[in-house]
Amino acid sequence: MVKCDISYTLRPAFSSMRGMNDSFNIFDLRNQLYVRKICFNSDKIEFYNHSFWYRDNYKKISIIESNKVFLGYIRLDRDNFVNIAILKKFQSKGLASDILSKMDNGFAVVFDDNLASIKAFMRAGFKPVGKLYKK
């Protein structure tokens, strides 16, 4: 069992018209340097491009929040690839591991130097398969 120090809820991301806060929160988190360092594309994302991406992907995203405060998001892409991002001040509290442990299956690609993510996926029951983590 994964220990989590934060009480949280997951909810579906809202569409662009209804969920501008969701879109802005994800945009801001995705552009933080500590997140960009561990992304395949480490460039800053322009909001114009993000808005089109969000419009096409919001149905795959769950918002992680506590008392209606945004903590991060998790996205399950095609073929069950998992992407999770947590605001820095809520990291290292077992949040990602707890959320990931509730998944039945999924895949993630994690860079070798991203030790925190490797630990989170391993604690959640994902197994390394080369550079891929599978549950």
Residue-wise pLDDT tens digits, 75-122: 988 778 899 999 999 999 999 999 999 888 888 888 888 888 889 999
Cβ neighbors of 92 (< 8 A, separation 6 or more) are 116
Amino acid at site 60 = K
Q: Which domains does the chain have, with CATH numbers?
A: 9-103 (3.40.630.30)
CA distance linking residue 67 with residue 7, whole number of Å = 9
Residue-wise pLDDT tens digits, 32-64: 998 888 887 888 999 999 988 888 888 899 999
Backbone angles phi, psi at 100, to 5 degrees: -65, -30
- Total-model pTM: 0.88
